[in-house]
């Protein structure tokens, strides 16, 4: 055992039958269970038994036209996480909400409420949405441009933070004798007037156990990285090589100083998808079996969508049309993922089919197959070499891909002093080693007297 | 014991420390517990032990400027009810959402998700919001006019119902062998284009256990009653006399035929606030003690707000200024409540102070003090004489006002054959004796092929 090592943080990225696109066809998966709360409670309890920092839920507000190929419906994050708050006691609960398709009052209140209900375990994964499947459920207009979405996100978060700070910590007096419930001097309007929002405040809930939810973000573009370094407390990112991971890590942490923040105030957590076997060969075989369950028709759709180019006319066993793809310079939130795919295909000289299979496991996130020792080795390398503060764990299939990780990899990480053997705190901030934010009182006025 | 009697339905209206405005000052109340989930779990379990049909949560999105006088913050309904879904197993879960300040996609999905999570116990209390404390948290515009709000509510519900019906019941095939997850012919766009909303669909969740949540409504105006008779499956209403209750009951049920609905398809549930004593004198004394804890300054504010006239200049122990009030003909959602207060003051010749006290218990809902027998007698009268299908129970203070009802009044109702002795079904629809709605496929097209 070695003590004093930097410990890693681990989220469980919950996603229906698993992160491999064919996971629902895996013999152990339950594709009918994905709207069954007991299924998620079971997974959450396994993750909590493994002492993971948090559960992590992505989300979107539309269905792609490929429902025949895989599970894509999802229970709504606030309702799901609040249910899981009751079924667990320590693990964090990170939910996703879009700043493009929500009002800040609703989102601020829901996370505040979840933070009260879970006694300080809420996290807010801030997204700006992608794709018109979502946009057209909220109006006739297509998805706004990337920069417009981020501009709105910035204003949204200003409002949300104002609302979270609209009650002073000791605003509730509850003096039964005197009949004074709240000290009205300690409740504040925010009177926000901006380009996108006009919000008076205060919030109709007092400040929550964590002050506000842990702010999580996953932007990969330059704008996204800037937003993260200014605002985020945890960053979920797709990095395919240790080198890319180190470069991203240094870049984001390097941007923080100009906002008066220290590098420790952001935890960088690349996605990580382990296919675990007792031998390397067994792990490889598991991966091969999963890939055999993929459907090329869906793979071509997914790749076309990501690369913004219809690839249906190209031979599956030929190379990507790099020349045509190079003409596509559209800026959008998936730009970095787009580049990551192209770099991967070029670096390893992959055919279209091979690229599809390489990215079927976790949609471009880092995946590896190996023994528990090999997987722990790789995770340690990323931590020690400054590419990660931890990982967003993306098991290829549930529940066994998670059970194997908790049963076999977690003890190995614990033996190396790289992961906690028990929770030391009760809030997500405490698990991450993040401070509870001080209340900011800028731009606030006392609530109007009657 | 008498069998074959019409059984009543009972919701527990959950509200921080209770429904009496001074409940937080009651010696048994815990005004610091109102953001503590264990407090609500305790109340929910008492209600479930009493075999009540449902929990009921009102909601608004703003704080009035009277927080010094009483508890008005509230945990957010979706997060609170989803947490309570895990802590209970049979009782219904009715939450409030405003069609004026929400997007239908979000609301439809959250109730669908809550219905999945609770295995069919969700109810949607449809409101159009009141007051600018809410409006100014969602923009610079004041609350829209009553008729505009109802017009939007109608379109909102059309969208929500379309989304709830966008998956055929057997859309999920989950054929692992063939690799067919969903039959794409059984997933439908709604392509709604209206004055307020433009929503493509489908929902990103399959049809829920109840088909859709039980639709609850509380409109009292003519527009509101029309909306209810067209749409609602339960109506929460404020009725102060048996005669008024009978008239409302007959009116709403009488409007249903033109929408092709039968009277049994709506359950009418007046608010009911019992102050329970082992003797009539003890009950009266309890009521008096509670009223002594009220604060006239708040009472005048509340009354001024409801009657849309500043009453601060009038002597508390004099009559209402009926002449000036009669000039106030503003149409709004509280019109009926307004009339109810004026009628009460005139009928009983009350001073301002007396009216404040008479309405402090449950904000104008029917309240009575009495022994368990007297209370059961009165409830029975309302049921037998066609003024109610049940009640929205509004205990004056928690937890003891609820405990007394469950321990003393429920057994009396059960002995009379007026209330269930155990749950017979598992869904809220089953508790209410409502049919699961058939899926409607009007105006839907097959989801666009890629």
Other CB atoms within a 10 A radius of the CB of residue B95 amount to 27
DSSP B372-403: HHHHHHHHHHHHHTTS-SEEEE--SSTTHHHH
pLDDT tops 60 at residue B172 = yes
| Mutation choice for A interface testing from B76, B108, B206 by most A CBs within 10 A | B76
Helices vs. strands in chain A: H and E counts, helices first: 16, 15
Q: What is the mean pLDDT of residues B191-199?
A: 98
pLDDT, tens digit (0-9, with 9 covering 90-100), for A178-223: 999 999 999 999 999 999 999 999 999 999 999 999 999 998 889 9
In the block, residue with structure tokens 């996370």 = A111
Q: Known binder of ligand: residue B407? A: no
pLDDT at B328: 67
% of chain A at pLDDT higher than 70: 95
Distance of CA B435 to the CA centre of its chain: 20
| Residues 6+ away with beta carbon under 8 Å from A102 | A156, B106
B150 is in an annotated binding site: yes
The number of helix segments (H) and strand segments (E) in chain B equals 16, 15
Residue A197's pLDDT is 98
- The answer, yes or no, to whether residue A1 has pLDDT greater than 50, is no
Arithmetic mean of pLDDT, B422-441 = 96
Average pLDDT over residues B9-21: 97
- Please identify which residue in the block is written with the tokens 């891909």: A401
- pLDDT over threshold 70, residue A19: yes
pLDDT at A449 > cutoff 90 = no
pLDDT, one tens digit per residue, over A265-313 is: 999 999 999 999 999 999 999 999 999 999 999 999 999 988 889 999 9
The reply to whether residue A78 touches residue B78, judged by beta carbons under 8 angstroms, is yes
- What's the longest Cα–Cα distance across chain A? 81
Average pLDDT over residues B265-271: 98
What pLDDT score was predicted for residue A363? 82
For chain B, list the domains and their CATH numbers: 9-275+369-446 (3.20.20.30)
Å between A29 CA and nearest CA of chain B: 10
B356 within 8 A of B305, measured Cβ to Cβ: no
Average pLDDT over residues B190-205: 97
Q: Best of A85, A135, A179 to disrupt the B interface by mutation (most B CBs within 10 Å)?
A: A179
CA-wise closest residue to B81 among B32, B127, B35, B114: B114
CB A341 within 8 A of CB A306: yes
Q: Which residues of A touch B75 (CB under 8 A)?
A: 113, 116-117, 205
Write out the binding residues of A for FMN.
Answer: 59, 96, 146, 150, 221
pLDDT at B447: 58
Task: Assess whether pLDDT exceeds 70 at residue B442.
Answer: no
* Longest CA–CA separation in chain B, Å: 81
Which residue in this structure is represented by tokens 């901030």? A429
H helix or E strand, kind and range, residue A305: helix A296-307
| pLDDT per residue as tens digits for the range A129-167 | 998 999 999 999 999 999 999 999 999 999 999 999 999
Task: Provide the shortest C-alpha distance from residue A83 to chain B (in Å).
Answer: 5
Closest CA to A29 of A39, A44, A37: A39
Residue A54: which of A373, A430, A416, A405 has the closest Cα? A430
Q: Name the DSSP class of B141.
A: S
CA distance B105 to chain A (A): 7
pLDDT score for A220: 86
Is the Cβ–Cβ distance between B103 and B155 less than 8 Å?
A: no
Mind telling me how many Å the CA of A64 is from chain B's nearest CA?
9
**Mean pLDDT score, B47-68:** 96
- Tell me if residue B163 falls in helix, strand or coil: helix
Mean pLDDT of B110-134: 97
- The strand pair at A9-14 and A54-57 is best described as parallel
HSE-up (13 A, CA, CB side) for residue A301: 15
**Average pLDDT of every residue of chain B:** 93
DSSP A148-190: HHHHHHHHHHHHHHHHHTSB-TT-EEEETTTTEEE-GGGBEE-
Question: Which pLDDT band holds residue B156 (cuts at 50, 70, 90)?
Answer: very high
Closest among B111, B320, B128 to B221, alpha carbons compared: B128
Closest CA in chain A for residue B71: A181
The tokens 């004798």 sit on which residue? A177
What is the token pair recorded at B118? Answer: 């609770």
State whether residue B368 is helix, strand or coil.
strand
| Contact indicator for B122, B214 with CB cutoff of 8 Å | yes
User: From the centroid of its chain, how far is CA B364?
Assistant: 14
A43: confidence class by pLDDT, cuts 50, 70, 90: very high
Whether residue B206 lies within 8 A of chain A, CB to CB, comes out as yes
Q: Residue range B346-360: average pLDDT?
A: 91
Task: Compute the average pLDDT of residues A412-439.
Answer: 98
How far does B299 lie from chain A, in Å, by closest CA? 13
| CA-closest candidate to residue A284, choices A357, A347, A232, A388 | A357
Q: Which residues contact A241 (CB under 8 A, 6 or more apart)?
A: A366
Alpha helices in B98-221 (DSSP H): 104-117, 132-135, 146-164
| DSSP class of A208 | B
Q: Is B36 on the interface with A (CB under 8 A)?
A: yes
B221 is in an annotated binding site: yes
**Cα dihedral A61, A67, A70, A73 sign:** positive
Backbone angles phi, psi at B173, to 5 degrees: -95, -45
How many C-beta atoms lie closer than 10 Å to residue B154's C-beta?
17
Q: Is the CB of B174 less than 8 angstroms away from the CB of A24?
A: yes
Query: Which of B35, B78, B176 lies closest to A205 in CB terms?
Result: B35
Exposed / middle / buried, residue B325 (Cβ in 10 Å: 0-12, 13-18, 19+) = middle
Q: What pLDDT is attached to residue A443?
A: 53
Tokens 């209810």 -> residue:
B228
**Residue pLDDT, tens place only, B357-384:** 989 888 889 999 999 999 999 999 999 9
Which residue intervals of B236-295 are DSSP H helices?
242-255, 280-292
Beta bridge partners of A319: A351
Kind of pairing between the strands at A172-175 and A180-182: antiparallel
B279 vs B324, more confident = B279
Site of tokens 């399959």: B206
Q: How far apart are CA A291 and CA A415, in angstroms?
A: 32
pLDDT digits (tens, 9 = 90+) for A44-59: 999 999 999 999 999 9
B78:A79 CB<8 A: yes
Q: At what angle do helices B104-117 and B77-87 cross, to 10 degrees?
A: 10
Once rounded to an integer, what is the mean pLDDT over residues A97-119? 98
Which pLDDT score is estimated for A450? 37
Structure tokens at A261: 């923040």
User: pLDDT confidence of A339, banded at 50, 70, 90?
Assistant: confident
Give residue for tokens 């002492």.
A51
Neighbours of A231 (CB within 10 A): 19
Question: What ipTM, to 2 d.p.?
Answer: 0.96
Give yes or no for residue B450 having a pLDDT over 60: no
Rounded CA gap, A32 and B173, in Å?
9
Contact B91, A88 (CB under 8 A): no
């Amino acid at each position: 055992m070695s003590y004093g090592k930097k410990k890693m943080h681990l989220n469980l990225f919950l996603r229906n039958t698993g992160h491999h696109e064919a996971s629902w066809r895996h013999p152990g998966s339950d594709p009918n269970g994905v709207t069954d709360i007991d299924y998620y409670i079971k997974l959450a309890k396994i993750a909590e038994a493994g002492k993971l920092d948090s559960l992590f839920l992505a989300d979107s507000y539309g269905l792609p036209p490929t429902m025949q190929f895989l599970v894509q419906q999802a229970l709504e994050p606030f309702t799901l996480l609040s249910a899981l708050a009751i079924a667990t006691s320590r693990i964090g609960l990170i939910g996703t909400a879009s700043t493009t398709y929500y009002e800040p009052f609703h989102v601020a209140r829901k996370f505040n409420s979840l933070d009260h209900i879970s006694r300080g375990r809420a996290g807010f994964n801030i997204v700006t949405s992608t794709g018109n499947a979502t946009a057209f459920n909220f109006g006739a207009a297509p998805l706004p441009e990337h920069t417009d979405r981020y501009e709105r996100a910035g204003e949204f978060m200003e409002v949300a933070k104002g609302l979270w700070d609209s009650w002073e910590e000791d605003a509730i007096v509850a003096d039964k004798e005197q009949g004074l419930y709240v000290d009205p001097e300690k409740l504040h309007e925010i009177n926000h007037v901006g380009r996108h929002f006009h919000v008076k405040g205060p919030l109709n809930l007092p400040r929550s156990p964590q002050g506000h939810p842990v702010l999580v973000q996953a932007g990969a573009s330059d704008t996204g990285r800037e937003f993260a370094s200014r605002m985020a407390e945890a960053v979920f990112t797709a990095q395919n090589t240790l080198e890319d991971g180190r470069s991203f890590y240094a870049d984001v942490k390097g941007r923080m100083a100009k906002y008066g923040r220290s590098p420790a105030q952001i935890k960088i957590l690349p996605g990580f998808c382990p296919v675990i076997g007792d031998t390397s060969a067994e792990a490889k075989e598991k991966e091969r079996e999963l890939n055999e369950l993929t459907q090329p028709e869906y793979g071509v759709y997914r790749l076309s969508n990501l690369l913004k180019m219809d690839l249906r006319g190209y031979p599956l066993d030929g190379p990507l049309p790099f020349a045509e793809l190079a003409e596509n310079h559209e800026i959008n939130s998936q730009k970095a993922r787009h580049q990551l795919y192209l770099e991967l295909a070029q670096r390893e000289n992959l055919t279209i089919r091979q690229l599809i299979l390489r990215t079927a496991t976790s949609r471009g996130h880092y995946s590896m197959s190996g023994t528990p020792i090999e997987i722990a080795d790789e995770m340690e390398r990323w931590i020690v070499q400054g590419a990660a503060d931890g990982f967003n764990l993306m098991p290829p299939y549930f529940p066994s891909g998670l059970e194997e990780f908790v049963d076999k990899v977690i003890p190995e990480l614990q033996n190396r002093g790289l992961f906690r053997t028990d929770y030391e705190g009760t809030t997500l901030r405490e698990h991450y080693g993040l401070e509870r934010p001080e209340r900011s009182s800028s731009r606030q006025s006392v609530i109007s007297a009657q």
